[in-house]
A = this chain, B = another copy of it.
Amino acid sequence: MLLGRVTGTLVASRKDEGLAGQTLLVVQNLGIDGEDSGGYVVAVDSVGAGDGDVVLYASGSSARQTLATRDKPCDAVVMAIVDNWQVGAQQVYRKTAADGPWAS
């Protein structure tokens, strides 16, 4: 899985019917240091993620292993909202009550 930050949603009125009613999130990829790493993905939301949330997403056929995405033409799914992670002894990211600011 890779890390990303939700930047907003994508609207598509004409789409595969299996995706009707699903939220399509625009997700910017993050590096292990929590910084924007330059790429992005559009992913179906399966956990109620919102703008600014740091999330984990799964790609490929694994993206179809949630209730929201089973048997759908979907190759990316947000399947977790991240609370925190470490690199070595250092905590790189920790979600705060304010839902966004970095803390170490």
Interface residues of chain A, those whose CB is within 8 Å of chain B, are: 1-3, 7-16, 18-19, 24, 26, 28, 31-32, 40-43, 46-48, 51, 56, 58-66, 69, 71-77, 79-88
Contact = CB atoms under 8 A, between A and B. Distances in A.
Given A16-B47, A69-B73, 17 more contacts: A11-B82, A11-B83, A11-B85, A15-B47, A16-B46, A16-B79, A16-B80, A24-B80, A31-B40, A42-B56, A46-B73, A59-B75, A62-B64, A62-B73, A64-B65, A65-B73, A73-B79
B79 A19 contact: yes
Copy number in the complex reads 5
A91 B29 CA distance: 19
A79 to B, nearest CB: 4
Contact of A85 (B10, B72, B82): B10
A86 B46 contact: no
A103 to B, nearest CB: 14
